[in-house]
Structure 1
Amino acid sequence: MSTDLDALVPRWLTLPDLAERLGVEVSRVRGLVRDRALVGVKRGERTTFQVPEAFLVPADDGGEHVLPTLRGTVVVLGDQGFTDDEILAWLFTPEDALGVAPIEALRAGRRAEVRRVAQTLGF
C-alpha cells in the first residue's frame, strides 16, 4: 500500500471498529464494502482491511452512519477505471475544481459537484 494514503487519511478504522461505531455486526459492514457503500484497503502492521474514519457522519439519533453520498461517488470513480487505492487517494487529495478534498465536499453536501468532477477523470 502506498504511504501516500497514510499521509492523506488522518484516521482509519478496522471493520470490527467500524461495526462497533455503527452498532451493527461485522457481517453488515462487510456487506457495505461489497456493495461499494464503503471502500478501503489493507494496511498497517498486520495488513488488516481498513476504511477512513471520515466516511462516518453523525446520525440524527446521536450515533453515526456511513456518508450516504459516498457509494454513488465510489461507483462513478470505479466506472472511470479507478482502483480502490486510487479512489481513496482522489477522495482525500485537494481538488482544484472543488477548492477542497472531494471527501470534504461530500461531507458538506456537494454531491453533484463532486460527481461532475469525478466523471471527467477517466483514464
Structure 2
Amino acid sequence: MSAFPCSDDVLDESVVLIPLPEVADRLGVVVTRVHQMLRDHQLLAVRRAGIVGVPERFFDADGEVVRSLPGLITVMKDGKYSDEEILGWMFAEDSSLPGAPVDALHGPLAREVVRRAAAEPF
C-alpha cells in the first residue's frame, strides 16, 4: 500500500502521464507536497507500467493545476465516486462538450463541468 492514493490505469494509453517527480518540478514543490495533494484530492494519480503519474491534461499552459480540478474532484468524491470512476468520467468523450470534461476544464465551460458532476447520479 502506498502512502498516497493511486488509481489503476483506467485511461487510454494515449493519455500522457507526468511522473510525480516531474509534477513536483513543474509546480516548484517537493515531491512529498505532491503526495499531500494526492491525499487531499487536489490531484489524481495513475499507476502505469510501475510508474505513478498525473495526467498531463490536469495542467494548464503555464504548468499549474487547472483551477477547477480540485473542486471537481471534491464534488465527485462527495458523491462517493472512486478515483477510477472520476478518471473514467473526466476522460470520456462527451458530445455536448468540446471533447471530454477534462478538456472543458481548460476553458469557459469549467463551471458547467463541475455542475454536471454534481448532478451525476451515484
Q: TM over 0.5, yes or no?
A: yes
2:55 aligned with 1:52: yes
2:11 aligned with 1:5: yes
Q: Detail structure 1 runs of 4+ shifted over 4 Å in the superposition.
A: none
For 2:40, give the aligned amino acid.
Answer: D
Identity rate, percent: 37
SS in 1 for 2:12: helix
Cα shift at 1:120: 2.1
For 2:23, give the aligned amino acid.
Answer: L
For 1:111, give the aligned amino acid.
Answer: A
Greater share of helix: 1
For 1:114, give the aligned amino acid.
Answer: V
| Equivalence for 1:78 | 77
TM-score (norm 1): 0.82
Taking the aligned partners of 1:58 and 1:99, their CA distance within structure 2 comes to: 18
| Equivalence for 2:5 | none
Q: Unaligned 5+ residue runs, structure 2?
A: 1-7
2:116 aligned with 1:110: no
Taking the aligned partners of 1:118 and 1:96, their CA distance within structure 2 comes to: 16
Aligned residues: 115
Structure 1 pair 91–5 and aligned structure 2 pair: CA distance change class (3 A):
same
Q: Select 1:23's aligned residue among 6, 25, 28.
A: 28
Cα shift at 1:107: 0.7
Taking the aligned partners of 1:70 and 1:109, their CA distance within structure 2 comes to: 14
Q: Unaligned 5+ residue runs, structure 1?
A: none
- Which range is displaced more, 24-33 or 94-103? 94-103
1:32-63 deviations in whole A, cap 9, x for unaligned? 1122111122222x2x322101111133xxxx
SS in 1 for 2:53: strand
Greater share of strand: 1
